[in-house]
Structure 1
Amino acid sequence: MDTYKLFMHIPENFFSILSGKLKELHTDLLFLIYEQYKKSIFVIDRDVIVDLFIEYFETHDMEYADEEDNNLRDAKERAFHYISKFNHHGWITQEHYLDYSVKISIPDYSIKMLETFHKISTGYQMEFSGHVLSIYQNLMGEEGQTYVAIHQAYQTTKELTDGLKGLNHNIKKYTEKLLDVDDIKEILKQIFDEYELKVLGSHYYRLKSSDHISKYRTKIIKKVRDFSFNHVLVAEQARLMAKDKFSPDISTAESEIFEWLDAIERSFGMMDEILGEIDSRNQKYHRVATQRVKMKVGQTQNFSSKINKILLYLSEQIKENGDRKLIDEEFSSQIQLFKQESLEESSYKYPSQARPKINPTAVQMPIINTDIKQKKMDKFKERLKEEKTIKDINSYVNKVMQDKRELTLSEFPMDNKEEWVNLIYSILYSKSKKANYSLSKPDKLNRVTETEQGIVPNQKIIRK
């Protein structure tokens, strides 16, 4: 098995500053550098970072300090100390220029780490619909038949599936977190301020509504399959990849192209399962949230809970003063017991009531034109002729299958409109108890089959 040898690419003591009592201070200062890096084009002047650190030290209570801080006189020395510390651990690099200025740059591995930490700490939300649109535009654009477009679509598809998997995990995490909260205000805050805004947000709702993935999926899968079946185009793009040094040789390039295309098709084919799992966990979260809110509200407003408080008070009084001492008059005045009786409507003692009088009125029958009536009847009869009963479809399936035990849907005749209608009715009636056949489960990897006449589900008709 291949080893990745992570510490051949990053310093060995890289992660040491993220542990211990100063980890919060270190991450705060690193985020200041990262924010400044995003604003700069190339490198950052060290004096800018020093000023940012000094401002941080002067505006924050330093409850924790490095052991070496005891020898530092002021905030400026402390700022230089932490810059040197980050440089020593490999988070930044310092470069000395000919004009005696010092510039700070961030290595690529450090940028990726800080970007990930920043997304986690700020509750970053992926724009799911934007990723789907980007994949669609890459494949359908003028450059859609180039390896560059295919590779970009593959990378975006991978980001999309990783984002949906992360969303699925976050819902589970917030469901478990909700169970640990007892205060009703905190429960509501977590539901509306954290979960709805930071976890789901409007991006996922758009993906499920106005920008639904099915809006683009069919065309994306068709484009990917057309590219896969076009071996001349694949060979041409593989030669370009080898020529551009994107791959070591043509054979490897062809394998990579087919791998990208297959990954895109499989991802979009299984997208419904991922979205279904997210919806299921989302519904579970809302059930848990509803139960928690009802329970907490019930504890404060429920009549039985008030009785429970009264009984607890009385039990404490009995423990302190014994069971023979009278309770306070003020407390007694708050409790008023009385007998309340009511009759059920079904009781024979329930007084009968007079039924309201109904004043019938004549209804004016509309006059229907005979020609219009005949046209509608003829249209209705024509529609009835086109409809297929379960008996008709059973006969049709038996005729097509002949003596076979099972038959794939792609083997059914599809040469005209009538045969397509019969195929559709065969699929619809497959779940009926009166059907003489059943439909197999869809293949998870290849959900559809492409024929000369069109695309049909990759399923089989099986005799019962």
Structure 2
Amino acid sequence: MNGKLFDFVNADFFKPLTSMYKDRFLDCILHIYEICKNEFSYSAPRNEIVDDLSSYFDPDESEFVLDGEREIAKNSREKASAVLRQLKSCGWIDEEIRSNHEIFIQLTEYTIPFIESIIGIIQKEELEYQGVISRIVMILKNLDHSSKPYEEIVMGVQEGMSQLVSELKRLNSSIKRRINELTSKIKPEDILDSFESYNAQIISKSYYRLKTSDNISRFRQDIYEALDRINSDPNIRKRAIAGYIEVKSKADEKISAIEASEMLASEVQEIRRNFDRLDDIVHEIDEKNRIYMRTALNRARFSLSAGNNVEGKINLILRELAAVDEFDFDSILLVNDIFAAFPQQFISDESLRTVAQYKKTGNIATIQNVKSISDEIKQARIASIKQKQQNQITPKKINQYVLELLGEKERISVKDIPVTDIKDFFKIIYIVVYGCHYQASYKIERHNERIVLANRYCVKSFDIIKRGKHHV
């Protein structure tokens, strides 16, 4: 990497985004970008931009004081002009006077990719992985017809592979954020909702297609064969080496044909290794997804089991009281009735008082011969282990349970599932979780309606639909 960032951008470039008005500055920057992006040179008349920013500031009646500004901007037009002056001084925009003496605002060249990156983060844009792989395959199919296989084929495939690996890594890192968000929730119904949003944001869309109908393995052999031809086909290899030398010469690097041949082979091999790495990344994404599902179930079970004890009820009361801004007289009396002080006859674990320790010397017992475990105890232990295995919930057991519920029906509602205790509610959670399992004989169709089961458990309504005999 040549040079440093602030050799190219203004030293105060990030100042607007770190000031007390950072949110307003960002909104104004995005407004300017939307106006300028369709023009030939990312520019627009200054008056047009001022009018747009003035409309943005219209509802805001607060004063606007920027660093370096001597006067306080009070009305919307003054605020818009102050923002433009600040953005110009920090290197975000520039001004130029055209032939008709009209002033134009123009985004600087290094500002544009930065703004586009911000938009990508805000909008949570997701790469269409399948499109990248298809583009790589189409590029490699032009090997025989390309006069410059290195510039047009190898470099194009390198760019596509780099983009694909980078986006999959970004997806991999986002799963950790989803897990962290999950562990902060406490309500079981929220956990069921999180499954739905998680499937929409991570498992569905392009990654789901990459794993199923548009699996990456469909193109693996074609890509490998094309990459091997670059090194094995004499005509393609000769043109590729010449292109490699030409590209390096433009960068003022002089290399021989032998060196170019070795470097070309190394780059082609690196592309193949990167393609092999995709399987490892996809495997890690699947593993993190498995951890997410297990964590969600543990959170649901913990919340449901701990929510009905005395400590859980007190925590719930305190949370509800903490959410109240002001107490009236009746509420204060209610709080007094709930809590009362009473004397303790024992020292709490949290007490600052030191507990007295008494030493007592006793008789040392002789070591007795250890008796062997009887067959009855062994058999009882084995029976206990088998019973635990039988009680363990697995995708296969849940699938059989759902098939028994469906019977001859093609579809049933969650309302039709009998719920008499907490174990039955756990089964509903497992039905939702294992509905996306590849061996499941059913699928889940969710609705926005919320229902209450057994006058106790609140969940989003869904239907269970029987799948055909042949499903993926």
**TM-score, length basis structure 1:** 0.60
- Which range is displaced more, 53-62 or 74-83? 53-62
The question of 1:214 aligning with 2:221 is answered: no
Query: Per-residue deviation at 1:132?
Result: 0.8
Structure 1: give runs of 5+ residues left out of the alignment. Answer: 324-464
The question of 1:158 aligning with 2:172 is answered: no
Partner of 2:50: 50
Q: Mapping of 1:230-245 within 5 angstroms?
A: 230=233, 232-240=235-243
Query: Per-residue deviation at 1:60?
Result: 5.0
The 8 Å contact of residues 64 and 79 in structure 2, kept in 1 or not, is answered as no
The question of 1:172 aligning with 2:176 is answered: yes
Structure 2: give runs of 5+ residues left out of the alignment. Answer: 318-336, 345-472
Query: Per-residue deviation at 1:246?
Result: 5.3
Q: Mapping of 1:24-173 within 5 angstroms?
A: 24-45=23-44, 46-59=46-59, 65-66=65-66, 68=69, 70-141=71-142, 143=145, 146-147=149-150, 148-173=152-177
CA distance in 1, matches of 2:284, 2:204: 17
**Rg larger in structure:** 1
Higher-helix-fraction structure: 1
Q: Mapping of 1:260-299 within 5 angstroms?
A: 260-298=267-305
Query: Per-residue deviation at 1:271?
Result: 1.3
Structure 1 residues 187, 266: CA separation in 2 closer, same or farther (over 3 Å shift)? Answer: same
CA distance in 1, matches of 2:65, 2:160: 43
The 8 Å contact of residues 28 and 53 in structure 2, kept in 1 or not, is answered as yes
CA distance in 1, matches of 2:62, 2:289: 41
The 8 Å contact of residues 158 and 271 in structure 2, kept in 1 or not, is answered as yes
Partner of 1:410: none
CA distance in 2, matches of 1:95, 1:132: 43
Structure 1 residues 321, 81: CA separation in 2 closer, same or farther (over 3 Å shift)? Answer: closer
Output one character per residue of 1:132-184: Cα deviation in whole Å (capped at 9) or x when no partner. 11111111136567221221121011000000111111111221222223455
CA distance in 1, matches of 2:11, 2:338: 67
Structure 1 residues 258, 318: CA separation in 2 closer, same or farther (over 3 Å shift)? Answer: closer
CA distance in 1, matches of 2:87, 2:262: 42
One-letter amino acid of the structure 2 residue matched with residue 276 of structure 1: H
Q: Secondary structure at the match of 2:96?
A: strand
Query: Per-residue deviation at 1:73?
Result: 4.4
CA distance in 2, matches of 1:287, 1:116: 34
- Which range is displaced more, 245-254 or 164-173? 245-254
Structure 1 residues 85, 201: CA separation in 2 closer, same or farther (over 3 Å shift)? Answer: farther
CA distance in 2, matches of 1:20, 1:198: 32
Query: Per-residue deviation at 1:70?
Result: 5.0
CA distance in 2, matches of 1:237, 1:119: 35
Query: Per-residue deviation at 1:206?
Result: 0.3
CA distance in 1, matches of 2:83, 2:99: 24
Paired positions, count: 316
Output one character per residue of 1:34-84: Cα deviation in whole Å (capped at 9) or x when no partner. 233333343331233222211111145758753538533421122122112
Query: Per-residue deviation at 1:21?
Result: 1.5
CA distance in 1, matches of 2:289, 2:277: 19
The 8 Å contact of residues 21 and 64 in structure 1, kept in 2 or not, is answered as no
Q: Mapping of 1:383-398 within 5 angstroms?
A: none
One-letter amino acid of the structure 2 residue matched with residue 85 of structure 1: Q
Structure 1 residues 308, 296: CA separation in 2 closer, same or farther (over 3 Å shift)? Answer: closer
Output one character per residue of 1:361-411: Cα deviation in whole Å (capped at 9) or x when no partner. xxxxxxxxxxxxxxxxxxxxxxxxxxxxxxxxxxxxxxxxxxxxxxxxxxx
CA distance in 2, matches of 1:70, 1:201: 53
The question of 1:17 aligning with 2:16 is answered: yes
The question of 1:204 aligning with 2:207 is answered: yes
One-letter amino acid of the structure 2 residue matched with residue 39 of structure 1: N
Structure 1 residues 321, 280: CA separation in 2 closer, same or farther (over 3 Å shift)? Answer: closer
One-letter amino acid of the structure 1 residue matched with residue 89 of structure 2: H
CA distance in 1, matches of 2:339, 2:22: 54
CA distance in 1, matches of 2:98, 2:260: 42
CA distance in 2, matches of 1:58, 1:253: 62
Partner of 2:436: none
Output one character per residue of 1:327-360: Cα deviation in whole Å (capped at 9) or x when no partner. xxxxxxxxxxxxxxxxxxxxxxxxxxxxxxxxxx
CA distance in 2, matches of 1:211, 1:242: 37
One-letter amino acid of the structure 1 residue matched with residue 137 of structure 2: Y
The question of 1:223 aligning with 2:226 is answered: yes
One-letter amino acid of the structure 1 residue matched with residue 206 of structure 2: H
Q: Secondary structure at the match of 1:39?
A: coil
CA distance in 2, matches of 1:181, 1:91: 41
Identical-pair percentage: 24
CA distance in 1, matches of 2:117, 2:138: 27
